[in-house]
């Protein structure tokens, strides 16, 4: 209240008599939306709308400087003399492949130009987001972040992904980056919750629901991604895996604009990896999908707003896979006099997904049943190609019923809000405060009826007391508050941008399971069931810290960054004090040197910048892992106590120290760019959930005993081979290398991050080896097919690649038509295929072992000793999207509308893989909530759909 | 600028004042662990009884760990499905095997829980101290018996030096004697007596074993102590799930098919109790003692008394229609019809009546003890060797699914490598890190092997392990009563 009173007093002085209307276009004349038009030296800012138009009101009369910026374009500053009443300006922006003048927020405390930074930062623009035919954030980023690897682990809607950047920094914390929406840290759980529906058996399920899947993508202005290391030092104990920040739209003042869009399409399975052609006919289909969305934005004076809503329904490519989503988002911006500005956003969404048994769940499990040859256990010939009509019909009927009788679902409701106030105390001093929360409620329910159990032959006909209902509810509430001050100053040839601030977040994660056994078929409630039971789990953590950073420029070409964050966290041990994360960076704009300019013309090399830095970022331990506790259970209806967690007073965050160096080069008349970075990071105090010595009988305890090394290079390039009036082609690619090694485990026995048991195959952690390498048995046979030697616990490959990257092409024809394509690839990784392994076991034709071996041995006698034969290289190149976007000429725009676009896109149109299975899907999630996952196991898991989507958008 | 700064200073001062007043009520950094700390627990009422129940739970979990692993390591059961250990059947016991380690850890947890209860909890909460102490001693002793019967060696305290199997059995005997002296209840004292007979037997201490066995039969001729599981909160009887579900993970050796499943899947969340100590063992000890002194008639008389007791034990009609003997995805197909006849070894006679037909109706199976041996067969014993053969056949059948056969065959799991890596008292080259598997036992899953002829309706078991035991009865690894 005091703050608003203060700003209110200032606001009274804010109004002025001039109004400025403008339009921003690119060189081809196409309107440029989302350009930021700022009155230099104030918080007054407007944003161009879809027609490129913007309006600023209440401006003082006289000379003013407009600062216009848009990602992908060179910034422009325009001197404008304003007179009382309406004024107008036309702005043309030129495309710039290496836009180092972008203003970046994430990881900096305040706004700062990218060219002053020693780190690389990726920005995804609104048009990239809106042009992408995807429904979830990780899928959106999949081929758009040049140095990140993102794999969708299952084709079931709303399931988890594997996101990896700069290797694997932790073996106890998931590698998913932290995600902020408008400064609010949001739930990014990308693993099963502690209490959650497990339809993947005793392995670590790959179809756990991900909190990333239900972050709404409506009305996003831009997304910033910063990798771990010096770029995230200011996030302290929370950001060794990098940070993704989403900025939502706050609208732009002017007449109220409406837009509507309708998207319709089809989802179809990617059948190329199916072993049997008929698998598609049993489990998949061409499912329709549709999405309707609308938005409205406008404002007047210093107020702007943006409101959007969307509804999506999809039949899905999987039979019985219907899923849906509903989302609303509002963003507002309000000037508080000439010095203050409020921005707020609010979103609500709800999602519904079905779930299907997969992986190692045993019993009836559709993909195991069909692709793994398991149908033999149900009396069918597993070689589907050999089935005659009546056998095929019987199989189809059996599967259709088994699929229909499964009743597993996930329902998510999510509410996120953010409120920020900025106050320009003087030309040099800007204060910002931000507070917000993310609340996410997920409900998972699995109903197993007697009818289902009888149908899949788990119990005999007539069984009536085996039906179960399992409910899992998780409520996540995350509160974030941040306050900082940014000061800019100059002293002769030196310029300073300094930030001092504090940040706090608190997460309350409360989970409840309530289950029932002996439920009558038809009941969807546990009330009155034969036996009911419940359980709960609570994870709470608060993290708070102070940070300071200064960026010093010399002669506007040498830049030094120095920063530190001091952090405290409730998950630290009691003897552990504040943790400090320092960073130091250098950037050198070589192309600004006069001697450089004299010898190399701008047309040849327009920009050349060298950069290098050192920074530390952390990962805090699992909440409550520091406390020694007693565990309680019930035995015979009475309480039973035993050893809980051993506790660790010295529990600290993992600390990842990164050195990196590189350059950014723009040449050939701004038509080509190359950026290259090499990095070397070492995670010390790595947290290992180390098994206690067996003779103590104690459970595992998290300890800071490990050391993990990651080193690699990141190269990205883009070239504009065609740039003429009416056509512009941009090609981009990235190439990343990675060498990962577990340096030290502090004497911890080898343990696994995924896979099944030790005598089968696991992704394990062992000193001196890549994290999560695949370990299993290898057997050699002689020429007669007799076993010569079996070696157990052998290195069979590693699930992460040595090389990976992205590729994209964009062709702009005229000012209306844009064609795009993007892809990603990886080389050097491996996965084991249980599907293929089971086909071998169940006697289907196979090529893994010579026929002489199969003749000389019973398959069941050797199948567990030949894991090496079923580990395959997972090299792949996948085209993620193909798209065409056409802005209709005004003559074709329907009456009453002001603009119209039509877009067509195909997702997953094409892929090549070295493996016999989809190299992206993976059964192996994390062992425990938020734990590390490395993948490496193909096991009865659905692939993502291929979709064909047509979108029609109208602006009013 | 100054005006703005003045506002700012004023605002900051007011905000600080307000926050300092409100901090006690609103502290976003305050985080309370919802779990109970050790100190809080020790101060709480009824801590000792709660801890004893926790130790009983650890005891049930140790039984599950032992059962799940040792039964497939013997000829009793074969893991015919995919989710449990796949190499114990061979038998192969690697010191890095997860199941070796988890079984070892489960036994260590039971022992540590009992020891902590004795050292800390019953000292802090002295209500019913005598009974609590006796219970904790009994559970610890059972842990020591599991360790002594199934492992080469194991530390007797956390991170202590390795103690070999006989050492653990002696520790069990000391705890059981003290527990027996503390128990007021006769049934509980009898349990100590039965466990003492079991420990002395495995040590080869014939005289003490006979004394305890005789005392038990005098006190309780049909004595039975079961482990009672919790079907609602767990732990359930994990072996029941392995033998009584549709998938039939564990498949019994065909000559004992009619004795399976001992733990029926009766109803949702109903868990069968598992026999841990029973009077049958005393008869078996007394019979083996008689054979060790070549008193054949006493041995036969004892076996007939044993048979009488077995025949008095309950049987139950069990619905096993879904158990399809490997036909729902098993690695090996087993006989599934009563017209199959079974030969115990190649060349021996094919015996009818050992396989039950399960697909139409419930079948009757013993739930505590059962045997295929008849009085006529016992009466026909004419030699010591034949006496040992029948004795070990009955011992195997009566103890089926009770976790005893692996040690009867002379096998021991190794101490896990992880112990050597994390315990400075254990050397990385200690002999105890190597499993004990008698060389006379068939490898390559030979113990579970058989040839089934579906046309002739015959099953020929490849090896008769009881005959092999008799042929090697001088081995120090088996048949502990040497004289």
Of A53, A72, A92, which marks where a domain is finished? A92
Q: What structural domains does chain B harbor?
A: 45-471 (1.25.40.390)
**Same domain? A35 vs A113:** no
Contact: B38, A628; criterion CB under 8 Å: yes
Which residues are paired to A686 by β-bridges? A706
Q: State whether A538 and B234 contact (CB < 8 Å).
A: no
Nearest CA in chain B to A629: B37
Comparing C-alpha atoms, which of A834, A843, A915 is closest to residue A873?
A915
Which residue among A57, A92, A127 closes a domain?
A92
Structural domains counted in chain A: 2
Q: What is the pLDDT of residues A314-352, one digit of tens each?
A: 999 999 999 999 999 999 999 888 788 999 999 999 999
Q: What is the pLDDT of residue A658?
A: 95
Which one, of A761, A772, A779, A726, lies nearest residue A833 by Cα?
A: A761
* Helix, strand, coil tally for chain A in percent (to 5): 10, 50, 35
Statement: residue B17 has pLDDT above 90:
no
Structure confidence at residue A75 as a pLDDT band (50, 70, 90): confident
pLDDT tens digit sequence for B209-260: 999 999 999 999 999 999 999 988 889 999 998 998 766 689 999 999 999 9
DSSP B19-42: HHHHTTT--TT----SSEEHHHHH
B71/B88 Cα distance (integer angstroms): 9
pLDDT at A601 over 60: yes
Determine which of A655-669, A770-784, B14-28, B300-314 has the lowest per-residue pLDDT on average.
Answer: B14-28
Average pLDDT of A726-747? 94
Residues B37, A6: C-beta atoms closer than 8 Å: no
Residue A97: pLDDT band (50, 70, 90) is low
**Is A170 a domain residue?**
yes
Name the minimum distance, in Å, from the CA of B274 to any CA of chain A: 15
- Listed residues A44, A65, A92: the one ending a domain: A92
Q: Please give the average per-residue pLDDT across B385-408, as a whole number.
A: 98
> What mean pLDDT do residues A643-647 have?
88
| Residue of chain B whose alpha carbon sits nearest to that of A453 | B246
- Nearest-by-Cβ selection for B31 from A423, A459, A570: A570
In a domain, A462, yes or no: yes
Residue B265 pLDDT: 85
Is A398 part of a structural domain of the chain? Answer: yes
- Residues of chain A contacting B421 with CB distance shorter than 8 Å: 747, 749
Q: Is the pLDDT of residue A718 over 60?
A: yes
Of B4, B109, B319, the CB nearest to A697: B109
Chain B interface, mutation test: which of A237, A504, A641, A939, most B Cβ atoms within 10 Å? A641
Using DSSP, state whether B260 is helix, strand or coil: coil
H or E segment to which residue B300 belongs: helix B296-312
Do A120 and A206 share a domain, yes or no? Answer: yes
pLDDT > 70 in chain A, percent: 97
Question: What is the distance between the alpha carbons of residues A224 and A235, in angstroms, rounded to a whole number?
Answer: 14
Q: Does A462 touch chain B (CB under 8 A)?
A: no
Q: Assess A12–B contact: CB distance below 8 Å, yes or no.
A: no
Q: Positive or negative, the Cα torsion across A429, A67, A14, A56? A: negative
Asked if the Cβ–Cβ distance from A694 to B105 is below 8 Å, we say yes
Hey, are the CB atoms on B7 and A641 less than 8 Å from each other?
no
Residue B16 scores a pLDDT above 70: no
Helix (H, G, I), strand (E, B) or coil at A539: strand
| Residue A37 belongs to domain with CATH number | 2.60.40.4130
Q: With CB atoms and an 8 Å threshold, state whether B322 touches A459.
A: yes
pLDDT at A908: 95
- pLDDT confidence of residue B35: 83
The rounded distance, in Å, linking the Cα atoms of A563 and A585 is 9
Residue A108 CA to residue A234 CA, distance in Å, equals 7
Highest-scoring range by mean pLDDT, A213-227, A689-703, A891-905, B63-77: B63-77
How close is the nearest chain B Cα to the Cα of A235, in Å? 17
Give the integer Cα–Cα distance in Å for A914 and A925.
23
The Cα of B397 is separated from the nearest Cα of chain A by a number of Å equal to: 27
CA dihedral A248, A254, A258, A261 (to 10 degrees): -50
Q: Is the pLDDT of residue B3 over 60?
A: no
Residue B6 is predicted with a pLDDT of 62
* A793 and chain B in contact, CB less than 8 A: yes
Residue A727 lies in a domain: yes
pLDDT score for A363: 84
Could you give the C-alpha distances from A290 to A155, A192, A262, A265, A316, in angstroms and in order?
18, 29, 7, 6, 11
Claim to verify: residue A128 and residue A64 sit in the same structural domain: no
Of A631, A635, A793, the CB nearest to B96: A793
User: A377 and B328 in contact by Cβ < 8 A?
Assistant: yes
Q: Is A97 a member of any domain?
A: no
What tens digit of pLDDT does each residue of A379-394 get? 899 999 999 999 999 9
Q: Per the CB < 8 Å rule, is B418 touching A623?
A: no
Nearest-by-Cβ selection for B50 from A541, A623, A640? A640
Using the predicted structure, report yes or no on whether residue A715 has a pLDDT greater than 90: yes
Q: Are residues A321 and A362 in the same domain?
A: yes
Interface contact flag, B112 A643, Cβ < 8 Å:
yes
CB contact under 8 A, A695 and B158: yes
Nearest to B133 by CA among B145, B115, B146: B115
Mean pLDDT of A891-895: 90
Same domain, A108 and A87: no
User: Which of A694, A744, A748, A750 should one mutate to test binding to chain B, selecting the residue with the greatest count of B CBs within 10 A?
Assistant: A694
Q: Do B109 and A624 touch (CB under 8 A)?
A: no
Same domain, A620 and A684: yes
Give the pLDDT score at A15: 46
Give Cα separations from A925 to A153, A169, A188, A795 (angstroms): 8, 17, 15, 21
pLDDT of residue A57: 81
C-alpha distance from residue B250 to each of A701, A860, B323 (Å): 33, 15, 11
ipTM: 0.90
The secondary structure of A615-662 as a DSSP string is: EEEEEPPPTTTTS-EEEEEEETTEEEEEE-----TT---EEEEEEEEE
Same domain, A79 and A107: no
- Does residue A382 share a domain with residue A343? yes
Query: Is A298 within a domain?
Result: yes
Average the pLDDT over A147-158 and give the result.
Answer: 90
Size of interface A-B (CB pairs under 8 A): 222
Residues A468-486: tens digit of each pLDDT: 999 999 999 999 999 999 9
Chain A positions in Cβ-Cβ contact with residue B5 (cut-off 8 Å): 425-426
**Residue A5: pLDDT over 50:** no
Residues from chain B contacting residue A642 (CB–CB below 8 Å): 51, 54-55, 57-58, 109, 113
Gap from B261 CA to chain A (nearest CA, Å): 16
Is the CB of residue A693 less than 8 Å away from at least one CB of chain B?
Answer: yes
CA dist., res. A358 & res. A362, Å (int): 8
Query: What pLDDT does A2 receive?
Result: 34
Q: Which residues of B touch A627 (CB under 8 A)?
A: 33, 35, 37
Nearest to B233 among A459, A635, A695 (CB): A635
SS3 B337: coil
Cβ contact (<8 Å) for B37 and A630? yes
Give residue A12's pLDDT.
35
Q: Which of A513, A520, A695, A790 to mutate to test the interface with B (most CBs of B within 10 A)?
A: A695
- pLDDT above 80: residue B150: yes
Residue A3 has pLDDT above 70, yes or no: no
Q: Note the pLDDT of residue B12.
A: 62
| Mean of all residue pLDDT scores within chain B | 92
pLDDT tens string A109-136: 778 888 889 988 888 988 888 878 888 8
CATH of residue A918's domain is: 2.40.170.20
Please write the tens of the pLDDT for every residue from B64-86: 999 999 999 999 999 987 678 87
> pTM, whole model, 2 decimals?
0.85
For residue B50, the chain A residue with the least C-alpha distance is A640
* Residue A599 at interface with chain B, using a CB cutoff of 8 Å: no
Contact indicator for A943, A155 with CB cutoff of 8 Å:
yes
* Better-scored residue on pLDDT, B431 or A699: B431
Nearest by Cα to B449 from B346, B371, B351, B338 = B346
- % of residues, chain A, pLDDT over 90: 62
Distance from CA of A52 to the nearest CA of B (A): 35
Query: What is d(CA A764, CA A766) in angstroms, rounded to the nearest whole number?
Result: 6
Q: Do B57 and A694 touch (CB under 8 A)?
A: no
Asked if A873 reaches chain B (Cβ–Cβ under 8 Å), the answer is: no
Residue B359: closest C-alpha in chain A:
A460
Task: Tell me: do A31 and A134 sit in the same domain.
Answer: no
Nearest CB to A759 within list B85, B113, B246: B85
A635 to B8: CB separation less than 8 angstroms, yes or no: no
Chain B hits for A841, CB-CB cut-off 8 Å, are: 331
- pLDDT at position A258: 93
- Please judge whether A531 and B228 are an interchain contact, meaning their C-beta atoms are less than 8 angstroms apart: no
Averaged pLDDT score across all residues of chain A = 90
Domain-embedded: residue A312: yes
Q: A73 is in which domain, residue-wise?
A: 2-92
Buried b (16+ CB within 10 A) or exposed e, A353-366: bbbbbbbbbbbbbb
Chain B touched by A535 (CB under 8 Å): no
Same domain, A68 and A155: no
What CA–CA distance (Å, rounded) separates A905 from A704? 48
Interface probe with A: pick from B246, B319, B433, most Cβ of A within 10 Å: B246
Q: Are residues A581 and A718 in the same domain?
A: yes
pLDDT above 60 for B200: yes
A377 closest CB neighbour out of B15, B86, B329: B329
Exposure string of B4-17, with b = 16+ CB inside 10 Å and e = fewer, is beebbeebeeeeee
* Residues of chain A positioned with their CB less than 8 A from the CB of B424: none
Whether A426 sits inside 8 A of B158 (CB atoms) is no
For residues A107 and A21, state if they share a domain.
no
> Which pLDDT score, from 0 to 100, does residue A6 have?
35
Please determine, for residue A67, whether its predicted confidence score (pLDDT) is greater than 80.
Answer: yes
Residue A756: the pLDDT is 82
């Amino acid at each position: 209240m005091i703050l608003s009173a203060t700003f209110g007093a200032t606001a009274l002085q804010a109004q002025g008599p001039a109004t400025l209307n403008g339009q921003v276009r690119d060189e081809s004349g196409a309107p440029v939306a989302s350009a930021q038009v700022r009155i230099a030296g104030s918080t007054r800012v407007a944003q161009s709308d879809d027609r490129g138009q913007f309006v600023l009101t209440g401006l003082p009369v006289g000379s003013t400087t407009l600062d216009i910026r848009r990602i992908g374009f060179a910034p422009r500053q325009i001197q404008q003399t304003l007179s009382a009443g309406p004024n107008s300006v036309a702005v043309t922006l030129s495309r710039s492949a290496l836009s180092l003048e972008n203003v970046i927020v994430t990881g900096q405390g305040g706004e700062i130009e990218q060219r002053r930074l020693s780190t690389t930062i990726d920005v995804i623009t609104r048009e990239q987001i809106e042009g992408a035919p995807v429904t979830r954030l990780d899928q959106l980023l999949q081929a758009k972040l040049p140095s990140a690897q993102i794999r969708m682990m299952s084709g079931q809607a709303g399931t988890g992904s594997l996101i990896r950047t700069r290797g694997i920094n932790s073996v106890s914390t998931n590698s998913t980056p932290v995600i902020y929406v408008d400064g609010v840290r949001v739930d990014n759980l990308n693993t099963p919750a502690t209490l959650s529906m497990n339809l993947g058996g005793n392995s670590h399920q790959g179809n756990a629901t991900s909190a990333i899947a239900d972050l709404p993508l409506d009305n996003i202005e831009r997304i910033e991604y910063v990798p771990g290391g010096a770029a995230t030092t200011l996030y302290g104990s929370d950001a060794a895996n990098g940070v993704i920040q989403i900025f939502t739209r706050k609208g732009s003042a002017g007449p109220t604009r409406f837009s509507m869009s309708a998207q319709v399409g089809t989802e179809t399975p990617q059948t190329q990896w199916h072993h049997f052609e008929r698998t598609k006919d049993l489990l998949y289909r061409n499912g329709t999908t549709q999405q309707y969305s609308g938005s409205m934005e406008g404002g007047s004076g210093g107020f702007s707003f943006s409101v959007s809503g969307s509804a999506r329904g999809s039949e899905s490519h999987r039979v019985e896979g219907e899923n849906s989503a509903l989302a609303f988002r509002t963003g507002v911006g309000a000037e508080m006099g000439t010095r203050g500005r409020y921005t707020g956003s609010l979103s609500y969404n709800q999602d519904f997904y079905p779930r299907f048994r997969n992986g190692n769940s045993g019993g009836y499990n559709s993909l195991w049943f069909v692709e793994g040859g398991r149908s033999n256990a149900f009396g069918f010939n597993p070689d589907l190609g050999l089935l005659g009509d009546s056998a095929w019909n019987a199989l189809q009927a059996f599967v259709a019923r088994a699929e229909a009788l499964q009743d597993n679902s996930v329902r998510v409701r999510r509410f996120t809000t953010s409120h920020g106030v900025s106050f320009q105390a003087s030309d040099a001093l800007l204060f910002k405060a931000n507070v917000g929360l993310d609340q996410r409620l997920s409900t998972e329910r699995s109903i197993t009826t007697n009818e289902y159990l009888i149908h899949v032959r788990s119990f005999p006909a007539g069984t009536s007391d085996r039906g179960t209902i399992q409910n899992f509810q998780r409520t996540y509430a995350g509160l974030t508050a941040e306050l900082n001050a940014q000061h800019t100053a100059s002293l002769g040839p030196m310029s300073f941008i300094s930030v001092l601030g504090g940040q706090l977040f608190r997460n309350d994660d409360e989970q409840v399971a309530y289950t029932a056994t002996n439920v009558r078929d038809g009941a969807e409630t546990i009330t009155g069931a034969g036996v009911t039971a419940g359980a709960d789990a609570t994870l709470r953590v608060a993290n708070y810290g102070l940070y300071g950073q200064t960026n010093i420029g010399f002669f506007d070409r040498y830049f030094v960054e120095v920063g530190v964050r001091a952090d405290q966290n409730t998950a630290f041990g009691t003897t552990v004090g504040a943790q400090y994360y320092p960073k130091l960076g250098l950037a050198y704009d070589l192309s600004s040197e006069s001697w450089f300019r004299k010898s190399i013309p701008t047309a040849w090399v327009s920009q050349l910048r060298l950069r290098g830095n050192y920074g530390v970022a952390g990962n805090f331990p699992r909440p409550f892992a520091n406390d020694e506790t007693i565990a309680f259970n019930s035995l015979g209806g009475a309480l039973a106590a035993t050893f809980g967690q051993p506790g660790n007073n010295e529990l600290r965050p993992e600390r990842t120290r990164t050195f990196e160096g590189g350059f950014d080069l723009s040449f050939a008349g701004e038509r080509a760019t190359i950026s290259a970075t090499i990095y070397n990071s070492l995670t010390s105090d790595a947290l290992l959930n180390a098994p206690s010595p067996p003779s103590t009988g104690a459970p595992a305890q998290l300890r800071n005993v490990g050391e993990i090394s990651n080193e690699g290079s990141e190269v990205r390039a883009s070239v504009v081979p065609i740039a003429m009036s009416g056509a512009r082609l941009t090609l981009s690619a990235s190439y990343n290398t990675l060498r990962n090694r577990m340096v030290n485990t502090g004497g911890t026995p080898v343990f696994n991050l995924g896979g099944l048991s030790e005598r089968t195959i696991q992704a394990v952690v062992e000193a001196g080896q890549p994290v999560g390498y695949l370990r299993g048995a290898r057997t050699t046979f002689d020429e007669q097919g007799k076993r010569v030697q079996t070696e157990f616990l052998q290195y069979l490959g590693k699930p992460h690649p040595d090389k990976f990257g992205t590729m994209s092409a964009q062709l702009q024809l005229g000012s209306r038509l844009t064609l795009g394509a993007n892809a990603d690839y990886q080389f050097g990784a491996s996965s084991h295929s249980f599907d293929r392994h089971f086909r071998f076991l169940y006697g289907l034709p196979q090529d893994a072992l010579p026929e002489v071996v199969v003749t000389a041995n019973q398959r069941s006698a050797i199948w567990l000793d030949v894991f090496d034969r079923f580990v395959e290289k997972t090299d792949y190149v996948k085209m993620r999207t193909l798209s065409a976007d056409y802005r209709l000429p005004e003559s074709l725009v329907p009456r009453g509308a002001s603009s119209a676009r039509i877009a067509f896109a195909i997702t997953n149109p094409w892929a090549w893989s070295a493996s016999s299975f989809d190299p992206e899907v993976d059964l192996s999630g994390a062992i425990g909530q938020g734990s590390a996952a490395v993948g490496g196991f193909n096991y009865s898991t659905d692939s993502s759909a291929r979709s064909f989507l047509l979108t029609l958008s109208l602006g009013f | 600028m100054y005006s703005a700064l003045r506002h700012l200073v004023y605002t900051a001062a007011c905000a600080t004042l307000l926050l300092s007043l409100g901090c006690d009520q609103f502290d976003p950094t305050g985080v309370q662990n919802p779990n109970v700390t050790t100190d809080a627990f020790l101060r709480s009422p009824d801590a000792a009884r709660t801890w004893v129940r926790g130790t009983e739970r650890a005891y049930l979990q140790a039984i599950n760990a032992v059962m799940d692993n040792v039964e497939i390591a013997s000829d009793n059961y074969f893991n015919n499905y995919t989710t449990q250990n796949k190499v114990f059947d061979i038998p192969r016991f690697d010191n890095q095997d997860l199941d070796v380690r988890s079984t070892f850890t489960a036994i260590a947890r039971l022992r540590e829980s009992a020891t902590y209860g004795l050292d800390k909890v019953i000292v802090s909460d002295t209500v019913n101290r005598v009974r609590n102490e006796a219970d904790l001693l009994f559970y610890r002793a059972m842990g020591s018996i599991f360790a002594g019967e199934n492992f080469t060696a194991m530390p007797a305290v956390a991170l202590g030096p390795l103690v070999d199997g006989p050492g653990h059995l002696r520790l069990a005997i000391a705890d059981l004697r003290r527990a027996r002296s503390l128990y007021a209840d006769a049934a509980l004292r009898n349990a100590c007596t039965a466990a003492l007979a079991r420990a002395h037997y495995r040590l080869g201490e014939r005289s003490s074993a006979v004394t305890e066995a005789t005392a038990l039969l005098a006190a309780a001729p049909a004595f039975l102590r079961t482990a009672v599981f919790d079907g609602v909160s767990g732990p359930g009887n994990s072996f029941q799930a392995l033998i009584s579900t549709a998938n039939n993970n564990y498949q019994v050796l065909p000559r004992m098919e009619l004795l399976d499943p001992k733990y029926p899947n009766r109803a949702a969340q109903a868990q069968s109790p598992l026999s841990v100590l029973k009077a049958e063992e005393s008869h078996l000890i007394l019979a083996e003692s008689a054979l060790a002194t070549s008193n054949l008639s006493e041995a036969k008389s004892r076996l007939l008394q044993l048979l009488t007791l077995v025949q008095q034990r309950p049987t139950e009609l069990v619905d096993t229609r879904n158990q399809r003997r490997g036909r729902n995805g098993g690695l090996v197909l087993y006989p599934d019809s009563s017209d199959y006849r079974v030969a115990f070894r190649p060349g021996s006679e094919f015996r009818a009546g050992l396989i039950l037909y399960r697909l139409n109706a419930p079948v009757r199976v013993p739930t505590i003890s059962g045997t295929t041996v008849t009085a006529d067969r016992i009466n026909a014993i004419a030699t010591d060797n034949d006496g040992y053969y029948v004795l070990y056949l009955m011992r195997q059948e009566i103890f089926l699914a009770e976790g005893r056969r692996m040690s009867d065959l002379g096998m021991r799991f190794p101490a896990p490598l992880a112990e050597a890596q994390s315990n400075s008292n254990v050397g990385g080259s200690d002999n105890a890190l190597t499993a004990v598997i008698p060389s006379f036992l068939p490898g390559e899953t030979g113990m579970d092997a058989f040839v089934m002829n579906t046309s002739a309706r015959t099953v020929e078991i490849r090896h008769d392990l009881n005959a092999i035991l008799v042929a090697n009865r001088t081995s120090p690894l088996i048949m502990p009563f040497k004289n």
